[in-house]
């Protein structure tokens, strides 16, 4: 049977879900949108029988009313629209601390007459002010079970109650109902009559749907599967309504009348509870006075962000090195064990190299999601969004984009995955398109090489040019990210001016269990989805640089009888490098740089090793400094240095901005579920890189550098 879990954000719905599903949780996608869909299969003993349940966790929402495909997800899931299965029962989670607001959604469910069981979560926290589960059950007319999402208490009883309702198939008679005026109802019935025949034909259900349509359908909404006739009737009814005035003579409107009727009913039921709340200062308020204070809050924030930053940069390092060493060892072992052949090369460099390129991201992904999970669970993440919102908003970004952007300094891949904390699709997309511009750690080896080769320390100069240059590159990337966000938010990814409605959830001690489960789920989905693309890309690039094969080298016994890899110059990759020379020359690049840039598409660090191969290095570890010298001493036919500091600057700027990471594109594709956005990302970033490099090189040349 299918059970759907709904509720407001921050009621503890996810904790309850985790308690019920444990490690069996899976992550998928809702059709057509990039919101992830969580579901799991469980079994439960009911008497002598074993019942199989598929439990789906719907995204948190305040109301079923929707204006976009994403907001439509919950009502679609409840009614089985869009080809989904209709749930047999719905578990609505409410939190004692927000009961008035939470019951608004429950009321909508009751109006629809769908089978409902209510979970009253965290009742103990409400200090005796909240109704008990029995009292709530009396009020609502549907079963209510008290739960504690943090300890797991009541969750089994909740599941049992839900299964019982699903199997009983009895119609529930809700006792919480809004009283709508006769005039309003006559309008509603007009819309109800226009509903498609496929809808269940009970009067109450149709009225509830009509109310939904009246509040949701609007010119310019992005709802899916809405019949045109319905839209016409809604539009007609709305304009007819505008001519009415309210009971007290003041102008009223449809939305207000409907919402007021609903809250009136809720308030009436709850009027004997939560007395004197308005003057209660909660513990969370007290902590927030510190955490959100301009000074102490700022310090707390800096410390927290520093921990995240440091973790992403330093703590993942040992694991990353370990993986890299492991992969290298595997590659060496494999090439010594296997006979020299094309297949061996493919396996060693293509497959093993590719797998290595994928797995190397795991430590940072796991670490970032661990940190984010802990931040979210403790409630602090909402405060981060709250603090950063004002600043981010000026760039068109959302406060919650801060942590993903910050982690972009380590690596864009986990950062892009972390944008899932942004609920709004446009905010998510915008952040995803901007994160790759942050200076990721893969760019560091390139900066180091170029700076060391072409900007040598001057004798007797006190100015730390090398350090300043590096910091400059970081600052440049931040400026460009913010600038792009600003431009993109006004053009391509116009952020709908959605009001920020943010709840500051109560603080609590973060729990390790659910966080670890989430981490593991994310890591798996990364490996499955992005991993395959990265592997494919690595193999492709290996092929470009290894073909066409040349004649066997007669002098080397190892290679006897099998075509050797060509010198890089003659490979397809090299040929492409030469072919695009005319395009890249105005940037100051020659074919060697071009070929290395092509190699860098697999992973940016590959630029260095490819360049090494081009200059004839066999083992880069020993010759690291030698590569620097070789670059510096390359000469043009006329004796001038081929690679000048200006060209070095142009190259660094190119790397700062160009999208050269196949892995990034793979993850963006996976997260947006389309090819459009990774393509756009590639095009806009690379164009930006080209233009900036061009400007710098040409301007610099003109100025005589």
- The residue among 224 and 466 lying less far from other proteins, judged by its C-beta, is 224
* Residue 510 touches other proteins, criterion: CB under 8 A: no
Residues 6+ apart with CB under 8 A from 534: 354, 357, 358, 662, 663, 666
Which of 62/241 has CB closer to other proteins? 62
Q: Answer yes or no whether residue 296 interacts with other proteins by CB under 8 A.
A: no
Site string for other proteins, 330-369 (x = CB under 8 A): ----------------------------------------
The dihedral region occupied by 510, where left means phi > 0, alpha psi between -120 and 50, and beta the remainder, is: beta
Task: Check if the beta carbon of residue 400 is closer than 8 Å to that of residue 386.
Answer: no
Pick 268 or 277: Cβ nearer other proteins = 277
Are 525 and 531 in contact by the 8 Å Cβ rule? The answer is no
- Binding span for other proteins by CB under 8 A among 315-323, 335-343, 502-510, 558-566: 502-510
Show the tokens assigned to 220.
């310019």
CB of 500 vs other proteins, minimal distance in Å: 5
Q: From the CB of 255, what's the least distance to other proteins, in Å? A: 5
Choose which of 24, 289, 490, 585 interacts with other proteins (CB under 8 A): 289
**Nearest CB to other proteins, comparing residues 261 and 523:** 261
Q: Residues 74, 106, 161, 215: which binds other proteins (CB under 8 A)?
A: 215
Instruction: State yes or no: residue 292 binds other proteins (CB under 8 A).
Output: yes
- 3-class secondary-structure state, position 701: helix
Among 17, 30, 104, 212, binds other proteins (CB under 8 A): 104
Pick from 36, 189, 389, 570: which binds other proteins (CB under 8 A)?
A: 389
Among positions 101, 190, 511, 642, the unique one binding other proteins when judged by CB under 8 A: 101
Nearer to other proteins, 193 or 498 (CB): 498
Closest to other proteins by CB, 25 or 385: 385
Report in angstroms how near the CB of residue 568 gets to other proteins at its nearest.
Answer: 53
Question: 3-state class of 423 per DSSP?
Answer: coil
Q: How far is the CB of 226 from other proteins (least distance, A)?
A: 16
Find the binding residues for other proteins in span 36-65 (CB under 8 A). 62-63, 65
Residue 451's nearest CA partner among 432, 429, 467, 435 is 467
Query: CB burial class (10 A; 0-12, 13-18, 19+) of residue 316?
Result: buried
- What string of DSSP letters covers 60-94? P-S-S--SSTTTTHHHHHHHT-TTPPPPSEEEEEE
Q: Which residues between 245 and 264 bind other proteins (CB under 8 A)? A: 255-256, 259-260, 263
Nearest approach in angstroms of CB 441 to other proteins is 31
240 binds other proteins (CB under 8 A): no
Residue 410 and residue 380 in contact, taking contact as beta carbons nearer than 8 Å: no
Q: Is 86 in the site for other proteins (CB under 8 A)?
A: no
Nearer to other proteins, 403 or 658 (CB): 403
- In order of 421, 422, 533, 659, the CA distances from 395 in angstroms are 19, 16, 32, 21
Among the listed ranges 164-172, 278-286, 583-591, 644-652, the one in contact with other proteins (CB under 8 A) is 278-286
Q: For the CA atoms of the chain, what is the radius of gyration?
A: 30
Q: How far is the C-alpha of 291 from the C-alpha of 378, rounded, in Å? A: 13
How many residues line the site for other proteins (CB under 8 A)? Answer: 45
Can residue 393 be called a binding residue for other proteins (CB under 8 A)?
yes
Nearest to 73 by CA among 35, 17, 28: 35
Please say which residue, 134 or 218, places its beta carbon nearer to other proteins: 218
Closest distance of CB 381 from other proteins, Å: 13
CB-wise, 291 or 597, nearer to other proteins? 291
C-alpha–C-alpha distance, residues 553 and 556, integer Å: 6
Distance in Å, CB of 129 to other proteins, minimum = 8
Cβ contacts of 17-25, under 8 Å, gap ≥ 24? 17/55, 17/57, 18/513, 18/514, 18/517, 19/149, 19/152, 19/155, 20/55, 20/155, 20/158, 20/159, 21/55, 22/517, 23/517, 23/520, 25/517, 25/521
Among 29, 151, 333, 391, binds other proteins (CB under 8 A): 391
Could you tell me how far CA 328 lies from the centroid of its own chain?
32
CB-CB contact of 354 with 539 (8 Å)? yes
Cis peptide before 148 (omega within 30 of 0): no
Between 182 and 497, name the residue whose CB sits nearer to other proteins.
497
Using CB atoms within 10 Å of the CB of residue 598, give its burial: 0 to 12 exposed, 13 to 18 middle, 19+ buried: buried
Span interacting with other proteins, options 43-51, 153-161, 410-418, 501-509, rule CB under 8 A: 501-509
Of 380, 374, 414, residue with least CA distance to 400: 380
390 sits near other proteins (criterion: CB under 8 A): yes
When the beta carbons of 136 and 215 are compared against other proteins, the nearer one is 215
Cα dist from 183 to 106, 193, 212, 241, 258, whole Å: 24, 16, 17, 9, 12
Q: Is 128 in the site for other proteins (CB under 8 A)?
A: no
Q: Which residues bind other proteins (CB under 8 A)?
A: 62-63, 65, 67, 97-101, 104, 215, 218, 255-256, 259-260, 263, 267, 270, 274, 277-278, 284-285, 288-289, 292-294, 297-298, 386-387, 389-391, 393, 497-504
């Amino acid at each position: 049977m299918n059970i759907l879990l709904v509720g407001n954000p921050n009621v503890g719905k996810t904790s309850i879900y985790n308690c019920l599903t444990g490690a069996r949780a899976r992550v998928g996608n809702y059709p057509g949108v990039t919101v992830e869909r969580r579901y799991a299969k469980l079994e439960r003993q009911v008497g002598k029988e074993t019942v199989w349940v598929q439990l789906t966790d719907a995204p948190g929402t305040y109301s079923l009313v929707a204006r976009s495909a994403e907001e439509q997800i919950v009502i679609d899931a409840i009614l089985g629209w869009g080809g989904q299965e209709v749930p047999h029962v719905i578990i609505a989670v409410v939190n004692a601390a927000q009961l008035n607001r939470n019951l608004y959604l429950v009321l909508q469910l009751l109006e629809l007459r769908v089978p409902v069981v209510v979970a009253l979560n965290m009742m103990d926290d409400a200090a005796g002010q909240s109704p008990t589960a029995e009292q709530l059950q009396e009020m609502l007319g549907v079963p209510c079970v008290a739960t504690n999402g943090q300890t797991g208490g009541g969750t089994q009883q909740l599941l049992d109650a839900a299964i019982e309702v699903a199997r009983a198939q009895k119609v529930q008679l809700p006792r919480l109902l809004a009283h709508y005026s006769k005039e309003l109802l006559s309008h509603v019935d007009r819309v109800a009559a226009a509903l498609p025949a496929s809808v269940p034909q009970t009067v109450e259900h149709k009225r509830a749907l009509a109310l939904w349509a009246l509040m949701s359908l609007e010119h310019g909404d992005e709802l899916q599967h809405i019949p045109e006739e319905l839209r016409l009737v809604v539009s007609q009814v709305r304009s007819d309504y505008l001519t009415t005035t309210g009971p007290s003579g003041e102008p009223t409107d449809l939305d207000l009348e409907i919402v007021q009727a609903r809250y009136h009913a809720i308030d009436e039921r709850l009027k004997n509870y939560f007395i004197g709340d308005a003057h209660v200062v909660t513990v969370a308020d007290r902590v927030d006075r510190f955490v959100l204070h301009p000074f102490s809050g700022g310090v707390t924030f800096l410390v927290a962000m520093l921990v995240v930053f440091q973790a992403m940069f330093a703590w993942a390092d040992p694991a990353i090195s370990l993986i890299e060493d492991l992969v290298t060892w595997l590659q060496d072992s494999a090439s010594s064990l296997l006979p020299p052949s094309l297949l061996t090369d493919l396996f060693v460099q293509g497959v093993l190299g590719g797998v290595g390129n994928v797995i190397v991201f795991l430590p940072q992904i796991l670490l970032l999601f661990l940190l984010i999970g802990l931040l979210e669970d403790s409630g602090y993440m909402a405060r981060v969004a709250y603090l950063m919102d004002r600043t981010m908003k000026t760039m068109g970004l959302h406060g919650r984009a801060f942590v993903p952007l910050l982690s972009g300094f380590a690596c864009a891949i986990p950062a892009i995955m972390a944008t899932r904390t942004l609920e709004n699709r446009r905010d998510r997309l915008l952040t995803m398109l901007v994160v790759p511009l942050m200076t990721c750690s893969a760019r560091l080896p390139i900066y180091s090489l170029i700076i060391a080769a072409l900007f040598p320390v001057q004798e007797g100069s006190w100015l730390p040019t090398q350090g300043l240059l590096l910091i400059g590159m970081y600052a440049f990337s931040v400026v460009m990210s913010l600038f792009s966000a600003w431009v993109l938010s006004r053009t391509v990814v116009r952020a709908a001016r959605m009001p920020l409605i943010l709840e500051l959830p109560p603080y609590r001690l973060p729990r390790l269990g659910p966080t670890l489960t989430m981490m593991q789920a994310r890591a798996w989905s990364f490996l499955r989805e992005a991993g395959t693309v990265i592997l494919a890309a690595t193999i492709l690039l290996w092929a470009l640089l290894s073909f066409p094969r040349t004649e066997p080298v007669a002098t080397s016994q190892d290679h006897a009888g099998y075509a050797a890899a060509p010198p890089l110059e003659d490979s397809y990759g090299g040929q492409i490098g030469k072919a695009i020379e005319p395009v890249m020359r105005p940037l100051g690049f020659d074919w060697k740089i071009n070929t290395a840039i092509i190699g860098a598409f697999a992973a940016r660090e590959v630029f260095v090793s490819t360049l090494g191969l081009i200059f004839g290095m066999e083992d880069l570890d020993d010759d690291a400094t030698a590569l620097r010298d070789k670059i510096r001493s390359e000469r043009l036919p006329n004796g001038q240095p081929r690679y000048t500091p200006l060209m070095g600057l142009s190259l660094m700027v190119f790397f700062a901005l160009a999208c050269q990471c196949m892995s990034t594109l793979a993850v963006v594709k996976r997260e947006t579920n389309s090819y459009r956005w990774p393509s756009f990302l590639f095009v806009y970033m690379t164009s930006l890189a080209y233009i900036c490099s061009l400007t710098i090189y040409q301007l610099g040349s003109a100025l005589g550098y």
